[in-house]
Amino acid sequence: MTALSPIPLLRLDPGIPMPARAHHGDAGVDLCTTEDVILEPGERVLVGTGVAVALPVGTVGLIHPRSGLAAKTGLSVVNTPGTVDAGYRGEIKVCLINHDLRTPIELRRGDRIAQLLVQRVELVDFVEVETLDETARGAGGYGSSGGHASLAEAGQAAAKEA
């Protein structure tokens, strides 16, 4: 696989650090907030990052939470992962949520709030059909593969009702 060329990035707020990897070889670059904000428990807020990018067709930007912030404070990204399409040229914004039930989260301008990963994607076409081929899984969806006691109990209860 060939490496991607460097991706054009426009700094919309020169006072905010450039997106950067915390360590050599990290998959994502850290994105920072452009504003001071306090997220009350359960609150959501859309914050700017001060950057826009020109992703090449055939790639996508995925915005993920920073694992340390999620584990220590409950800060996460609402629509994980957030999607930055190749044709989008506006400021990358992140919809954050405070999952902690008791403690507000205070963010300061320049704080690292999320990470951006750029990945190649397959741009497929779809064709409408009358039926789909059969598989062992079939239409089994949420919880169909088991692995948790409460899923087994729910399945047994549903079977009794049927």
| Residue list for the binding site for substrate | 66-68, 79, 83-85
Instruction: Please report, as a single letter, which amino acid is at residue 15.
Output: G
Long-range contacts, 137-146 (Cβ 8 Å, 24+): none
Alpha carbon distances (Å) from 148 to 144, 154, 160 = 11, 10, 19
Contact 38, 106 (CB under 8 A): yes
**∠ Cα 59 62 63 (to 5°):** 155
Numbered residues of the known binding site: 66-68, 79, 83-85
- Comparing CA positions, the residue from 123, 59, 46, 39 lying closest to residue 91 is 46
Alpha carbon distances (Å) from 21 to 34, 66, 86, 102, 162 = 18, 12, 21, 31, 53
